[in-house]
Structure 1
Amino acid sequence: MQAMRYDIILPTDYDMTIIRERVKKTGHLMDGFPDLLFKLFLISEKKNGEHSNSYSPLYVWKNSDGMSHFIFDGFFDNILTSFAWQQIEIGVTSTIALGDDFLQSQFVTEEVEEIPPTDSLKTFEIHEKSTENETGKLVIYNPDKWRKVIFTFYLTKPQTKHRCFEILHLSRG
């Protein structure tokens, strides 16, 4: 499975209700999308203590056919016309551990870990184990940047030093 994400950083004074309304009106359009495992419509807000205002959708695809269909058959054009050219980050999933209450998740944290140069990658852990209070865990590694990103899902906002997003909507394929 592959994951993709784009991170649209918005001005500090941006009215985030615009994004909330956008997702409320159109989020359901991704429900049932071919080859999609799930899409999370994520935001962060400066007024809630986050580093910036952002709209940062995260997708997990069952295979690249659905991802290519989304990007190149006009669906991604909505992002381009609304927010201009966006860089899409693509990664390989190494852990997808979703608990029984994953669908009720309201928040997700993002932890980025660099994969340092080494003579062997056999000892580098690309999987992460779930811990208390989580509803799920998603680990993505990206060999062209040599990093892994750990997304951890929660029902309530966790106390964390990592970037934290509110989940506005979760679509399943």
Structure 2
Amino acid sequence: MIGMQYGFTLPADYDMSIIDRRIGDKGPLLDGLPNLGFKAYLSARRSEFGSRDNLYAAFYLWQKPEGASDFLCGPGFEALTGAFGWPQVRTWLVWKAGISPDIAAAAFATREILSTEPYAPLAELRRCESNEAEADLAKGALASVSGFEPTTWTRVRFRLWPEIPEIGKHMQAYRVGHLSLPRS
């Protein structure tokens, strides 16, 4: 599995209702996409939940790398980059992904990106991150993804929630505007 995220920082005076409409219009287009675990269409408003900026972002959980590749080479991503520019697309190898049967109730998301110290015991870190993901599911998260990126030596903790949780110092919170899921 692969976790993937890109995002756009928008001007402070940007009309975020434009993003809300875009998510409403475009979101359902990826419902049932092959190899997709889920796609969370995300937004954050400046000063809401501690966000410093207006943000438009997406987080994906891909079951297979071909799904990410097909999406990035496809017309949907081409349209997105035509509207908002060429983003940095971050990817992580998934160490742990847990998804509740109630995932469709997700209204909020949190994301933390953590640095990994040089020569850190990766097997132990993976075990700790997996335990952290399980603990967040037990606390009410509807999805919990922990991953690792060995080029920049970062780890990601992405969670979907029914209610906004307490926001940590290095955490970005988002509203979930739409959630694309595999077909049942």
Decide: shared fold, TM above 0.5: yes
Q: Which structure 1 segments of 5+ residues have no match? A: none
2:35 maps to what in 1? 35
For residues 77-135 of structure 1, what are the alpha-carbon distances to aligned partners after superposition, in whole Å with 9 as ceiling and x for unaligned?
A: 01111001111111111111122322201111112211101264332234223232322
Q: Which amino acid aligns with 1:26?
A: K
2:162 maps to what in 1? 155
Q: Which amino acid aligns with 1:28?
A: P
SS at 1:46 equivalent: coil
Q: Which amino acid aligns with 2:107?
A: Q
What is the RMSD computed on CA atoms of the aligned residues? Answer: 1.5
For residues 30-57 of structure 1, what are the alpha-carbon distances to aligned partners after superposition, in whole Å with 9 as ceiling and x for unaligned?
A: 0111111110001111142422110110
Alignment of structure 1 residues 21-170 onto 2, 5 Å: 21-48=21-48, 49-118=50-119, 120-124=121-125, 125-127=128-130, 128=132, 129-131=134-136, 132-161=139-168, 162-170=171-179
| Cα 1:120–1:130 shift into 2, 3 Å | closer
**TM superposition shift of 1:168:** 0.3
The more displaced of 26-35 and 123-132 is: 123-132
Conserved 8 A contact 2:92-2:156: no
Conserved 8 A contact 1:130-1:136: no
Alpha-carbon distance in 2 for matches of 1:165, 1:143: 26
Alpha-carbon distance in 1 for matches of 2:30, 2:173: 23
Q: Which amino acid aligns with 1:164?
A: A
What is the identity percentage for the equivalent residue pairs of Structure 1 and Structure 2?
28
Conserved 8 A contact 1:23-1:169: yes
Equivalent residues, number? 173
1:6 maps to what in 2? 6
Q: TM-score, normalised by structure 2?
A: 0.87
Q: Which amino acid aligns with 1:67?
A: A
**TM superposition shift of 1:153:** 2.1
| Cα 1:84–1:119 shift into 2, 3 Å | closer
SS at 1:95 equivalent: strand
